[in-house]
C-alpha cells in the first residue's frame, strides 16, 4: 500500500530533477554564449562558434520550455541551415556575421516565450516556486540583456552609429554596454549618441531594475513555499 502511494512522489521528483537539469543546462549555455561573444575577437571562424552556441542555446530553451518536439525539430533544421551559412561565410573569408546576427535574432525572439511557458507550467504543476523556476527567470534576465545588445548593434549596423565615443559597435561592446545599463552600473566609458539610444538605454535600466525587485525577488523569497503554506498573521489554522 505504501509502495504504491510513493510511486507518484518518485515520478514527481524525477520530473522535477529533469526540469531542473534542463534549465541548469540552459543557464550554462547562456553564460557560455555571453562569455564567448564578450571575449572572442570578431573573426570569421569565431563567428561560426558563436552561431553554433546561439543555435544550441535556442534549442535548449525550447527543450526546457517543453515546446512540442515537432516545433523543436523545425527550429533545429533552421538553426542547422544558419550554422552552415555561417561556415560558408567563414570559408569565403567573409566576416560580416550575417549568420550570427540571424541566430542571435532567433534566440532573443523565440527563447523568452518558451522559457515563460516552461516556468508557468512548472509553477502550476508543482504548486510552489522551484529551483527550475528561479533558473528560468535568471535565463530571462540574461536574454533581456542580450536582446538590448542585439538592438544596439542593429542600430549601428543600419548605418546610424550608436556610441557617442565614435567607436565601432562590436558585439562585445554592445554586450558590455547593455549589461552595465541593465544592472544600472553605468561606468560611463560608453554612452549612446542619439535620442533613440538614450531612450532605449533608460528603458533597459528601468526594465532591469523592475524585473529584479519584482519577479526575481518574489520568486526567490518564495522558493520552496507552496501556494497554501502562507497564512495571515494571527491565523492558527482553526476552522
Give me the tens of pLDDT residue by residue for the chain, a chain 239 residues long. 444 444 344 446 677 788 889 999 999 999 999 999 999 877 888 889 999 999 999 999 999 999 999 999 999 999 999 999 999 988 887 766 788 999 999 999 999 999 999 999 888 887 888 888 899 999 999 999 999 999 999 999 887 789 999 999 999 999 999 999 999 998 999 999 999 999 999 999 999 999 998 988 888 888 767 655 544 444 444 44
**Domain residue extents for the chain:** 2-221
The answer to whether the beta carbons of residues 153 and 169 sit under 8 Å apart is: yes
Q: What is the pLDDT, as a whole number, of residue 76?
A: 97
CA distance 115 to 193: 33
Largest CA distance in the chain: 76
Indicate the pTM of the whole model.
0.85
The answer to whether the beta carbons of residues 228 and 207 sit under 8 Å apart is: no
Q: What is the pLDDT, as a whole number, of residue 226?
A: 63
CA distance 86 to 103: 10
Residue 143 corresponds to which cell in the numbers above? 536574454
The answer to whether the beta carbons of residues 15 and 121 sit under 8 Å apart is: no
Contacts 24+ apart (CB under 8 A), 78-81: 78/106, 79/55, 79/103, 79/106, 80/55
Residue 204 corresponds to which cell in the numbers above? 533597459
Residue 96 makes CB contacts below 8 A (sequence gap 6+) with 89
Amino acid at each position: 500500500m505504501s509502495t504504491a502511494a510513493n510511486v507518484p512522489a518518485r515520478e514527481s521528483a524525477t520530473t522535477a530533477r529533469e526540469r531542473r537539469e534542463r534549465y541548469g543546462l540552459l543557464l550554462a549555455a547562456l553564460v557560455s554564449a555571453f562569455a564567448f561573444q564578450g571575449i572572442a575577437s570578431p573573426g570569421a571562424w569565431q563567428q561560426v562558434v558563436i552561431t553554433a552556441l546561439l543555435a544550441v542555446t535556442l534549442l535548449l530553451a525550447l527543450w526546457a520550455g517543453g515546446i512540442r518536439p515537432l516545433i523543436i525539430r523545425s527550429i533545429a533544421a533552421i538553426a542547422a541551415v544558419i550554422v552552415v551559412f555561417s561556415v560558408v561565410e567563414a570559408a569565403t573569408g567573409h566576416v560580416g556575421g550575417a549568420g550570427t546576427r540571424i541566430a542571435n535574432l532567433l534566440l532573443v525572439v523565440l527563447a523568452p516565450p518558451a522559457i515563460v511557458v516552461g516556468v508557468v507550467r512548472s509553477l502550476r504543476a508543482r504548486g510552489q516556486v522551484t529551483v527550475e523556476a528561479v533558473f528560468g527567470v535568471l535565463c530571462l534576465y540574461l536574454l533581456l540583456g542580450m536582446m538590448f545588445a542585439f538592438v544596439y548593434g542593429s542600430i549601428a549596423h543600419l548605418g546610424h552609429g550608436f556610441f557617442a565615443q565614435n567607436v565601432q559597435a562590436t558585439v562585445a561592446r554592445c554586450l558590455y554596454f547593455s549589461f552595465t545599463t541593465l544592472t544600472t552600473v553605468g561606468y560611463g566609458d560608453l554612452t549612446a549618441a542619439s535620442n533613440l539610444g538614450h531612450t532605449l538605454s533608460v528603458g533597459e535600466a528601468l526594465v532591469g531594475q523592475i524585473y529584479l525587485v519584482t519577479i526575481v525577488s518574489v520568486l526567490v523569497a518564495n522558493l520552496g513555499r507552496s501556494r497554501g503554506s502562507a497564512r495571515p498573521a494571527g491565523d492558527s489554522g482553526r476552522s
